[in-house]
Structure formats: C-alpha cells, structure tokens
Amino acid sequence: MKLKPSLLLVVIWSLSLALRLGAGPLGSCSGKLIADDREIRYEAAHGKHSQSWPYVDIQRLDVVSPTRLDLKTFKSESWKKFEKDETFHFLLLDGQITVGDQEFFRSKLSRPMVARVVEDKGTVLASLPVRHRHRLGGCEGRLQMEEDRLIYSTDHSNDNRIWRLSDIETIGSPDDYHLRVTTPNETFTFDLKSPLDHRIYDSLWKKIYRLENAHTFRPGGHYPKRYKGVRPND
C-alpha cells in the first residue's frame, strides 16, 4: 500500500531550515509526497528542495490531522540553529491521510509514531468519559480500550490518539479515577469521570508488560493493588 503518487502537498519548512535553503519568504514550497516500502520521499517542484528519508532515519512521524504530517529526522541543524533536529511539516492540498495510510506508516517505521486519525475497528473492552490534562486546563473525550489498542477521541482533534499496546512504555493508576499513559513520544494523564474497573486495568497492565500468563489473584480472589506503572518487585 502507498499514498497516491499524484497527491499534491505544500511543505512548510521550519523557519531556520527555510532560511538556510532559501525556500522563500514564507518558508514553503509545493511538491509531491510519496511513501513506498523503503522510504518517504518528497519531490519538490523545485528540485533542489527534494529529499528522501528511509524509515529507519525517521525519529518521529506525527499524523497531526488528515491533512497534515510532521516528520522529524535524526539530522541536526547547524550550531547557529542550536543543533535542533530537522523537522518538516507537510500540508495536503488534495486528498486526506486515511487510517489505512496511517497504519501503513506504522508498519514501516522502526519507532512508534504519533497517530491521531481515529477509526473504531476492534472489540471494545471498556469506554470511559475522561478529561486529558493539559499544562493549562484540558480537553474532554472518551478513552476506549480494545484488545490491542488504547484510543483517546475528542473534539480537540490534535489530542486524538491511537496507541498500540505494544508501543506503550508504562501505565499508572494511583486510584480508580486517574490513569497515566507513557509512550516514547509523550505522556498523557487522564482524569476519569467514572471509575476504571480493576479487572480491565489489570488486563491492560499485563498486556502492556507482556505478563498475560502471570497470576495476579491474591488469596480470597481479590485483585492486586494498582502497580502505579511499575512491575511488582521492581
């Protein structure tokens, strides 16, 4: 599967990169973005701005929305730009990034990506009304747990997330009304409007830490206390 080669985009360079490449006063140029089995390639209308990135050289890929894609590389800019890693921002002028395109990227990348294009597909184990905390305030939505995914959906599309359980580093829940999810890219802290069932949390915890066969019952049939994101005996 690949993104349509005819898909037209405009690439908005980071300001420092635009100045270095002379991409114009607005720091942007138009072209095509093509994804195949080996790399993501940008073919600029002006050839000198064309670039390609093998998937292994992509530090972070962020599907910001169905019409925007951010790509961060491992290459640092010059010391004049404080050695920041190069980041490219693509804005689609025609068409949209689909869930299928998003999953294609995920299957090719060697590092977890940031996925925000949400589509229900799995069996829902639990669905809770929540608030995602921001540095200031927050946004409300639903946290949905499936067999192999955790999905946060909200009207604030920039905060939508689809996490594969295998991409989550840790989870923590100090009580029935709070949940923290940490990935290599970010940490989300949720205030739960209704309590999270202990059995659902324990199942989620064991899947993330790959302990599905571990026995978590205590004598008398009680579930263990929450582990607050760390393995027992750590």
What CATH code is carried by the domain that includes residue 178?
Answer: 2.30.29.30
33-47, 117-131, 186-200 — most confident range: 186-200
Q: What is the pLDDT of residue 96?
A: 85
5-14, 63-72, 76-85, 173-182 — most confident range: 173-182
Q: Which of 103-107, 192-196, 211-215 has the lowest mean pLDDT?
A: 211-215
Q: Is residue 163 part of a domain?
A: yes
Examine the domain organization and report whether 111 and 134 are in the same domain. Answer: no
Examine the domain organization and report whether 32 and 68 are in the same domain. Answer: yes
Q: Is residue 234 part of a domain?
A: no
Q: Is residue 71 part of a domain?
A: yes
The answer to whether the beta carbons of residues 162 and 146 sit under 8 Å apart is no
Examine the domain organization and report whether 35 and 59 are in the same domain. Answer: yes
Q: What is the pLDDT of residue 27?
A: 61
The answer to whether the beta carbons of residues 97 and 121 sit under 8 Å apart is no
Examine the domain organization and report whether 22 and 98 are in the same domain. Answer: yes
Span 207-221, mean pLDDT? 63
Tokens of 170: 């840790």
At 84, is the pLDDT very low, low, confident or very high (cuts 50, 70, 90)? confident
Q: What is the pLDDT of residue 32?
A: 85
Q: Is residue 231 part of a domain?
A: no
Examine the domain organization and report whether 20 and 108 are in the same domain. Answer: yes
Examine the domain organization and report whether 33 and 132 are in the same domain. Answer: no
CATH number at residue 26: 2.30.29
Boundaries of domain holding 136: 124-208
Asked whether residue 185 carries a pLDDT value surpassing 70, the answer given is yes
Q: Is residue 222 part of a domain?
A: no
The answer to whether the beta carbons of residues 65 and 157 sit under 8 Å apart is yes
**For the whole prediction, is pTM greater than 0.85?**
no
Asked whether residue 16 carries a pLDDT value surpassing 70, the answer given is no
**79 CB contacts (<8 Å, ≥6 apart)?**
none
Q: Is residue 233 part of a domain?
A: no
34-44 pLDDT, tens digit per residue, is: 888 999 988 88
